[in-house]
Structure 1
Amino acid sequence: MLNKLSQLFDQVVAVARLPVVRLQFHLVLNPENVEKSYRYYTKPHPKYKIFPNKAVGAALVDLTRFRSRDDYAQELKRRKEAERHVKKARSKGYAVMEIDRNDFVDDIHEINNSVEIRQGRPMDPAYRDKKTSYQSEVNFRYYGVLSQHGQLMAYCEVAYLGNFAAFNRVIGIRNNDGIMHLMVAEIISQVIETGKFDYLMYDTYFGASPGLKTFKKMFGFEPYRAKYSLL
């Protein structure tokens, strides 16, 4: 009992020490989707009911620190491990670009079913079923990592929500070529270049596996306590 109380106290202290950030949802970007996202982000957390779902430990990069992709490239140089993986992927001919997912239906299905366990948990059954078509949202951008032969090796959805953008889905083939590192680094750089967003979110730190936490830290994601508003 004392041990559990001690752990709870430590968690409360950790939450209290998190820097607070105010994230805005802008309906003008896509009213139906943005409002739906706002409801999801602010519904009660499944475990800590007193907090909104994505409020505690939100993993964010403060984009206002960077004036350009070159600024962010210098940040990666200081984070040598991330830069090493990015260079490895580029040396093997991989490239990141915006995609129409309908052009890669087979590749996406292969990626989704390439492993049964991710982050220590079985893949959601929804990933197992093959979708034959995809509908795009106007406030989303869809990215892929292509091999030099044109095969889709990883893909990602990025939601533009207000004064922040957020990774919605990040998934790829496991081949140790640094493709995920390349994709995340390039997307961060492109979001910086838009000059429209203060933060980029990659879900939360709480509940993430140690490996995923390390991955996020490589690219400058830090935990915050988020307060949301709908405008």
Structure 2
Amino acid sequence: MNISDHVARLRALLRIAAEVARLPPARLRFDTALNPELVRHTHRLFTRPHPRYRLVRNKSIGIALIDLRAYASGAAYLHALRRRDYAGYHSRRARERGYTVVEIDRNDYIDDIHGINTSAGERQGRPMDPAYAARTERYPSDGLCHYGVLDKEGRLVAYGDVGVYGDFAATDRLLGYKNNDGVMYLLLADIACRLIDDGRLNYLMYDTYLGALPGLRNFKKKLGFQPYRIRYSIC
């Protein structure tokens, strides 16, 4: 690596540092009273050293959050994202096409979930993990909330798993059939609306924002997610 390469790398690092410094801060609290084993496991996962940047905690920089307290109601959230191609617009159109969001027992939809998992060989330009190809015979209780999008015939077309860990919730697995009906916008927007109207949580997390590929980052932006610097506590 020559001097110009070192200079270019240094400039890139300085740009990243400046971008990180501008991120708004957020404090998220884990509460072991909710589910001691799950909460402690998730806290360890989120606060362990980042796999590439060992001085940084795993889920601390550029994490995608919706500040649920910023909206008086779920309806206000959808109204804020009402413009064309944003979550309010897409979720309204999906409902007009007969899609609904419900809480599900995954064991009632084993074949449907397997069908979704194997419906595409790659997503966001990356090959699907081979684990998705295996058909699960029975799902154990895992302490998460499970949501599904049903079409007008009652067929599961998308699903999402969400954990509540304290004063915040975080998405786990989110997957659906690829179509232009906006079902993934509907799924996540509906989850956000439920949490806002419930009024007990401060944030909804959807993994990283700055580290996401451009298409996924744009999707998160249209759902109202923004990147934050996060500090965690646990009680």
For Structure 1 versus Structure 2, the TM-score category normalised by the shorter chain is over 0.9
In the alignment, the residues of structure 2 paired with residue 160 and residue 99 of structure 1 have an alpha-carbon distance, to the nearest angstrom, of: 16
Note the 1:190-229 alignment, pairs <5 A.
190-229=194-233
Instruction: Return closer, same or farther for 1:116/1:98 CA change in 2, 3 Å cut-off.
Output: same
The answer on 1:126 being equivalent to 2:131 is yes
Aligned amino acid, residue 64 of structure 1: R
The alpha-carbon deviation at position 223 of structure 1 amounts to: 0.3
Note the 1:16-55 alignment, pairs <5 A.
16-55=21-60
Note the 1:1-231 alignment, pairs <5 A.
1-78=6-83, 81-138=86-143, 140-231=144-235
**Length, aligned pairs only:** 230
SS in 1 for 2:43: helix
Q: CA RMSD in A?
A: 1.2
The alpha-carbon deviation at position 80 of structure 1 amounts to: 5.4
Any idea what the Cα deviations from partners look like across 1:70-124, whole Å, max 9, x if unmatched?
Answer: 2212212257532332122112111000000000000100101111111221111
The alpha-carbon deviation at position 58 of structure 1 amounts to: 0.8
TM norm structure 1: 0.96
- Contact (CA 8 Å) 1:158, 1:166: kept in 2 or not? yes
- Contact (CA 8 Å) 1:119, 1:208: kept in 2 or not? no
In the alignment, the residues of structure 2 paired with residue 223 and residue 50 of structure 1 have an alpha-carbon distance, to the nearest angstrom, of: 19
SS in 2 for 1:12: helix
Instruction: Return closer, same or farther for 1:63/1:195 CA change in 2, 3 Å cut-off.
Output: same
SS in 2 for 1:2: helix
SS in 1 for 2:161: strand
More displaced, 151-160 or 202-211? 202-211
Which sections of structure 2, spanning at least 5 residues, go unmatched?
Answer: 1-5
Which sections of structure 1, spanning at least 5 residues, go unmatched?
Answer: none
SS in 1 for 2:146: strand
Aligned amino acid, residue 178 of structure 2: R
TM norm structure 2: 0.94
In the alignment, the residues of structure 1 paired with residue 185 and residue 83 of structure 2 have an alpha-carbon distance, to the nearest angstrom, of: 15
Q: Percent identity?
A: 49
The alpha-carbon deviation at position 200 of structure 1 amounts to: 0.5
In the alignment, the residues of structure 2 paired with residue 129 and residue 218 of structure 1 have an alpha-carbon distance, to the nearest angstrom, of: 32
In the alignment, the residues of structure 2 paired with residue 170 and residue 37 of structure 1 have an alpha-carbon distance, to the nearest angstrom, of: 17
In the alignment, the residues of structure 1 paired with residue 124 and residue 70 of structure 2 have an alpha-carbon distance, to the nearest angstrom, of: 30
Aligned amino acid, residue 227 of structure 1: R
Aligned amino acid, residue 119 of structure 1: Q
The alpha-carbon deviation at position 66 of structure 1 amounts to: 1.4
In the alignment, the residues of structure 1 paired with residue 86 and residue 225 of structure 2 have an alpha-carbon distance, to the nearest angstrom, of: 15
In the alignment, the residues of structure 2 paired with residue 83 and residue 23 of structure 1 have an alpha-carbon distance, to the nearest angstrom, of: 26
The alpha-carbon deviation at position 137 of structure 1 amounts to: 2.9
